[in-house]
Amino acid sequence: MAVNEPKKIIIDTDPGIDDAMAIFVALKSPEVEVIGLTTIYGNVYTTLATRNALHLLEFAGRTDIPVAEGSHVTITQGTKLRIADFVHGTDGLGNQNFPPPNGKPIEQSAAAFLVEQANLYPGKVTVVALGPLTNIALAIKLDPAFAKNIGQIVLLGGAFAVNGNVNPAAEANIFGDPDAADMVFTSGADVLAVGLNVTHQVVLTDADRDKLTKSNGKFAQYLCKILDVYFSYHHDAYSTKGVYLHDPTALLAAVNPSLLTYTEGVVRVQTSGITRGLTILYNKQKRFGEVTEWCDKPTAKVAVTVDAPTVVNLVMERLMDS
């Protein structure tokens, strides 16, 4: 890669208030070039995720970026989806009832678009996955070379040795499609997981929100309108006076990996039972005397620490930039 050539990223997203923040931060990050958005259910159903993705790009004046619609069902074709609209509002964007976008998604499915771009720029595209991992798993199924051709998959997902946010076992994006997540983690692709163990340290406070309100940045102004619902959810659910910056942290891990530290090991996902969605990392500290479900599987990187003040500052700076 030539010096200073921006990293090509595709954001797989279910917007979502913190998704909107991550998308705006990406658009304001000269280190990366957003070459597409792909959509998925999670915070809202896929159809609404697509509408919101188009709307966010129109607001940003970036209708040059294609949106490819993703799966409406889980990788096992399950249609009973868990939708977290209680976190983001029924419209996914803070109950603002924005007008419908003018644009349309491209004809290609999200998985086909991911495969095409990975083949076009082998080893050069980073997928930043901010929702359940169905589209990424479908791309792996569609093209056995996808895991090798994709540069990196940076995903917001998992709760490594801490409680989840759906229940004590599971984080929402992994819980949304645990079978897809297990496929992605064991695919052999360069996977970097940013989980709740890290993102629960990255808090945007009331004081930060006041600064956003006072700034002239158009993204800051937009976000202040939609953030209320996200703040009240956090206040009720966690008794915090601030919100977790899950998706922006994962995005910034793709922009500047040195903001976090990582460990590496085999990650498996529980796909059934009361711990469905649990992510278990084998840290290689013990040689087990028997064959386990972690044996002979490719490894993934898992974030363990984060420079939270710098992440929050970067998010603020980029959103306030007008």
Between 156 and 308, whose beta carbon lies closer to ligand 4UO? 156
Q: Whole-number minimum distance, CB 82 to ligand 4UO, in Å? A: 7
Determine the length of the chain.
322
Q: Whole-number minimum distance, CB 2 to ligand 4UO, in Å? A: 33
Phi and psi at 91, nearest 5°, equal -90, 0
Long-range contacts, stretch 224-227, CB < 8 angstroms, 24+ apart: 225/94, 225/96, 226/17, 226/20, 226/89, 226/93, 226/94, 226/96, 227/17, 227/94
The one catalytic residue in 88, 200, 234, 246 is: 246
- 137-150: burial string, b at 16+ Cβ within 10 Å, e else: bbbbeebeebbebb
Residues that bind ligand 4UO (CB under 6 A): 16, 18-19, 43, 84, 87, 130, 156, 165-166, 171-173, 237, 246-247
Between 84 and 110, whose beta carbon lies closer to ligand 4UO? 84
Is 179 tagged catalytic?
no
Between 52 and 152, whose beta carbon lies closer to ligand 4UO? 52
Phi and psi at 173, nearest 5°, equal -70, -35
Contact 130, 173 (CB under 8 A): yes
- The Cβ of residue 102 has, within 10 Å, a number of other Cβ atoms equal to 9
Amino acid, single-letter form, for residue 218: K
Contact 220, 277 (CB under 8 A): no
Dist CA 277 CA 304 (whole Å): 19
Between 87 and 316, whose beta carbon lies closer to ligand 4UO? 87
Is 235 tagged catalytic?
no
Beta pairing, strands 279-282 & 260-269: antiparallel
Between 80 and 286, whose beta carbon lies closer to ligand 4UO? 80
Catalytic amino acids? 14, 246
